[in-house]
Amino acid sequence: MKITWHPLHLINGWKSASNIELETGTPSYAVSGGVVYLTGAIIRPTGSSPTFAMLPKNARPTHQLWIEAYTSTDIPGTVQIAPNGAADALNGESSFVRHQRRRGLPRRVGAPEHRHG
């Protein structure tokens, strides 16, 4: 399966957390076989909105999604993605959120039964 990654445009002051000590890669998204993938780590500035990105139309889910994410406080966080593309980082009490990886693959955002058209 070939996946083409695209930079995720961060908004509301959110920034990539990737640096020499934390090599998480640039926050990115990919769409393959109707499934959306997210990867990377982000940092939330104090007092900013929980909305860190607006996914492009071809990467938006058909229904609200809640995805568990790692935070620097070791309290599970949640990435909420709305059908309009708004991606919010919730819970976890942390300024740092990383999308989980499994077996070297990026975290799957959409299930196959909810493929994008």
**CATH code, 6-111:** 2.60.40
* Mean pLDDT value across residues 84-97: 77
pLDDT above 70 for 66: yes
8 Å CB contact between 95 and 44 = yes
Highest mean pLDDT among 17-21, 22-26, 40-44, 96-100: 40-44
Closest CA to 68 of 92, 37, 34: 92
**Pick from 19-28, 33-42, 69-78, 105-114: least confident:** 105-114
Domain locations in the chain as residue ranges: 6-111
Q: Residue 76 and residue 94: Cα distance in Å, rounded?
A: 10
When pLDDT is cut at 50, 70 and 90, the band that residue 99 belongs to is low
Model confidence over 35-62: pLDDT tens digits?
Answer: 888 888 888 888 889 999 999 999 998 8
Q: What is the largest CA-CA distance in the chain?
A: 40
